[in-house]
Structure 1
């Protein structure tokens, strides 16, 4: 029989404190999923449910102060830090960029900290009203001072309604530390200070709830074999248990847990922070590791001991994937969030980390290439150690002085926060430049294709792709100057006509602007195969903007006509504007350019860098971006130096790709026409 603790609460078989009316929630059945989908409800796929969290009581830490940690995996990669000043308690939190309705981890002036991991198995298949996971956490930050306050909030919303399916981790300034498995009308509390619930002083959760699956509070490996995220739960427990006997430190959680890389069997990767010395594997699968290809941010909250000023509680924030980012301290009393941590399109540090990770993720997978990581760690981690040392020094001085957070102390915290954020941002900018240069000059690049040869001088028959039924501007612009008087016979062709073999009647296919993925989808596999065959047998391919994305070897939907990756794919929607290109000296005459600097319209075309596909020759770079467009959260300094016009050979055919738009009125159209003539190549007879 369960043991009675207090009125309305019982201890379950898994040693958690359950709320009144608690009922077990089981996994959604296939029928329930179908019903929800038909009703229009969204069922997140398992790949999106990837947060990993831990609540560490003072019993488990080296200094006796509680620690709260979360690696956030979410579909929205743009995060920022925001001050929340519209409630009874002032707070600071990590939010989706530009949004303040929900928070995903944060703390308030009372020293209360909260985070969550999504646990869909707590759902009952019904639609519930009331605050969801993120909005409940915002309410908690604005109203709760202690773990007990949060428990009472859950009691109240058991009755008034909420739409939560999550494991909420919380700590407070009085030493409280607990995890709450929280459904829509019930919850179970796991107290990290209770030796029966948490023998080692901590509670870990990933994306399952023990109560939903009738598991003990500390499930064993054999009980989690079929449970999604069970391997991450076990990995986090192993890492915590392997810490020094003196207890866990903030530094250990930041470096060894948040950035863990392990293989599917849970063994740390050689060369990683937890692995044996040696070289990292060239490719790491992140399916079973804590730091994943889908991790968008992380936070480690360093709490205070009872009696210490709660506003010295520190949120160490890692925006972006932790293994590509650097931690910066944040405090509630600061008067403003430092610029590198804030931004309606994503904070600069986080967006820089996105660019670095994007340069490493293998398209269409959760695998990453690791060639950039050793250099990033070698540069960022010593700086992060300096930030930790300086922060700990200031906090120790404030604690020893018994200072309250008056205006002078708040000013000092603000100064340090801004100063350290700027230093972190400067370091991230350096990493971006070094990573871009590494991608521009890959070590294992194949030989460059020979692009010499005669250019077509007679009439060139040009097929202009168009699936818009004549509405798209790109074909209209091309038809204005690809005229018979200029030596061209040009007409639109549809994807259906391409599948039916119409390209045999033309010398060149132009894939204009629009959407590369949409072009690929409309072509279908038969059309993509027809384009490859046309080019390999001697036809010409001209890609403009979207057509260059399509020609690249980067995406699963790409044609693979040219050995090119897209640099900073994470910020492909970087805005429109005029840019200046730097032409290679040997490209000026073939492109009929007037000078080596060329001004042209840019509209979110690919920033091309070499790929290393062994079955494709390396391309020839004809022009690089000399100026840039960096809007919508794109990081400044990333675009310059990448390739804007490239050409190569595919089989017997020629391929030329323009990232910008020389085909628009004002062009320069002669550059476009010259590229088309080169791609056409003369008949061999």
Structure 2
């Protein structure tokens, strides 16, 4: 796939504010540049909640300049606290006018109409349930998926991290890092695409149209960068867990890690950009 750079420019914004995981943010800043076609991207940079409220996303956008907003992993309640109201209104306008939203783990929950989340803290389980204002995907994001982690609900411990197998709509398979993400259950009348499913058949990555733009929501961390993972995870791990963290690092430390989802994003960019150019 090649998009002629003379036809326009594409900026990737990575949300970096309260709730966003440094591991996910810093990884996305690297791999979005590395793994999307190099002729596609003009620049990759962070964006804050105040920037979004100030409508930086929509400033000077036109048929020649398009953008992708990455909502990374972390915790989605702080996203709600910062962006509910005007922030989400601006994001929805941004997408509907021909741009793209990519939600990863917490960002995937945040992009669904409803969430049902169970986690664990200080040996006690907790739940976060409710509607989400952004509501790009007409359905519910449900997690964490403890069947993949020997019954362990999401927490910061290494036992709640694992590698899962994904099956793609085109028949391909790969293995991707999982840490507390969702599976996506659509409402009966929802129009969306299944990009990939978990080994249990539940939807791991979904995409769809929103106005003239598109969204992709992922329950897995396809964006991880090995160098960043070494810095933010392996290097900070207690000796008791170091072997498991190193095995996770090895699983993401190859050239094709996350490539199938990145190819889907590249197709989305091409579809949005070219269709809007021809409209």
- TM-score, structure 2 normalization: 0.66
- Supply the distance in 2 between the matched residues of 1:647 and 1:501 (Cα, whole angstroms): 24
Q: CA deviation at 1:478?
A: 1.3
- Supply the distance in 2 between the matched residues of 1:641 and 1:558 (Cα, whole angstroms): 28
Maintained 8 Å contact 2:31/2:224: no
The question of 1:475 aligning with 2:48 is answered no
Structure 1 outlier segments of 4+, above 6 Å: 569-572
Match of 2:15 in 1: 465
- Supply the distance in 2 between the matched residues of 1:455 and 1:524 (Cα, whole angstroms): 37
Per-residue CA deviations over 1:489-533 (Å, capped at 9, x if unaligned) read 211000100011111255211111011222121213110111111
1:457–1:673 Cα change, 3 Å: farther
Match of 2:53 in 1: 499
- Supply the distance in 1 between the matched residues of 2:51 and 2:3 (Cα, whole angstroms): 25
Maintained 8 Å contact 1:455/1:677: no
Higher relative contact order, structure no. (Cα contacts within 8 Å, ≥ 6 residues apart): 2
Local SS of the residue matching 2:221:
coil
Per-residue CA deviations over 1:607-636 (Å, capped at 9, x if unaligned) read 112123x5xx4211111111xxxxxxxxxx
The question of 1:582 aligning with 2:174 is answered no
The question of 1:620 aligning with 2:174 is answered no
Q: CA deviation at 1:658?
A: 1.2
- Supply the distance in 1 between the matched residues of 2:145 and 2:197 (Cα, whole angstroms): 20
- Residue segments in structure 2 that go unaligned for 5+ positions in a row: 115-129, 147-152, 226-251
Per-residue CA deviations over 1:453-495 (Å, capped at 9, x if unaligned) read x996645311111104997121211121333882322110001
- Supply the distance in 2 between the matched residues of 1:529 and 1:514 (Cα, whole angstroms): 22
The question of 1:658 aligning with 2:239 is answered no
- TM-score, structure 1 normalization: 0.28
- Supply the distance in 1 between the matched residues of 2:74 and 2:21 (Cα, whole angstroms): 11
- Residue segments in structure 1 that go unaligned for 5+ positions in a row: 1-453, 589-595, 627-639
Match of 2:208 in 1: 648
Match of 1:236 in 2: none
The question of 1:573 aligning with 2:154 is answered yes
After superposing the two structures, state which structure 1 stretch, 516-525 or 484-493, moved more: 484-493
Match of 1:564 in 2: 139
- Supply the distance in 1 between the matched residues of 2:50 and 2:18 (Cα, whole angstroms): 12
| Count of residues in Structure 1 that have an aligned counterpart in Structure 2 | 207
Maintained 8 Å contact 1:625/1:644: yes
1:570–1:544 Cα change, 3 Å: closer
- Supply the distance in 2 between the matched residues of 1:500 and 1:464 (Cα, whole angstroms): 16
Maintained 8 Å contact 1:551/1:561: yes
Report 1:397-412 matches (<5 A): none
Match of 2:176 in 1: 600
Match of 2:107 in 1: 547
Per-residue CA deviations over 1:115-157 (Å, capped at 9, x if unaligned) read xxxxxxxxxxxxxxxxxxxxxxxxxxxxxxxxxxxxxxxxxxx
- Supply the distance in 1 between the matched residues of 2:69 and 2:166 (Cα, whole angstroms): 24
Maintained 8 Å contact 1:549/1:558: no
Maintained 8 Å contact 2:197/2:205: yes
Q: CA deviation at 1:566?
A: 2.5
1:569–1:603 Cα change, 3 Å: closer
Local SS of the residue matching 1:563:
strand
The question of 1:521 aligning with 2:81 is answered yes
1:461–1:671 Cα change, 3 Å: farther
- Supply the distance in 2 between the matched residues of 1:600 and 1:570 (Cα, whole angstroms): 14
1:569–1:602 Cα change, 3 Å: closer
After superposing the two structures, state which structure 1 stretch, 603-612 or 568-577, moved more: 568-577
Match of 2:259 in 1: 670
After superposing the two structures, state which structure 1 stretch, 528-537 or 659-668, moved more: 659-668
Maintained 8 Å contact 2:176/2:258: no
Maintained 8 Å contact 1:508/1:679: no
Match of 2:273 in 1: 682
Local SS of the residue matching 2:174:
strand
- Supply the distance in 2 between the matched residues of 1:470 and 1:622 (Cα, whole angstroms): 24
Per-residue CA deviations over 1:357-394 (Å, capped at 9, x if unaligned) read xxxxxxxxxxxxxxxxxxxxxxxxxxxxxxxxxxxxxx
Per-residue CA deviations over 1:255-279 (Å, capped at 9, x if unaligned) read xxxxxxxxxxxxxxxxxxxxxxxxx
- Supply the distance in 2 between the matched residues of 1:602 and 1:569 (Cα, whole angstroms): 10
Maintained 8 Å contact 2:145/2:181: no
Q: CA deviation at 1:569?
A: 6.5
Match of 2:94 in 1: 534
- Supply the distance in 2 between the matched residues of 1:570 and 1:658 (Cα, whole angstroms): 14
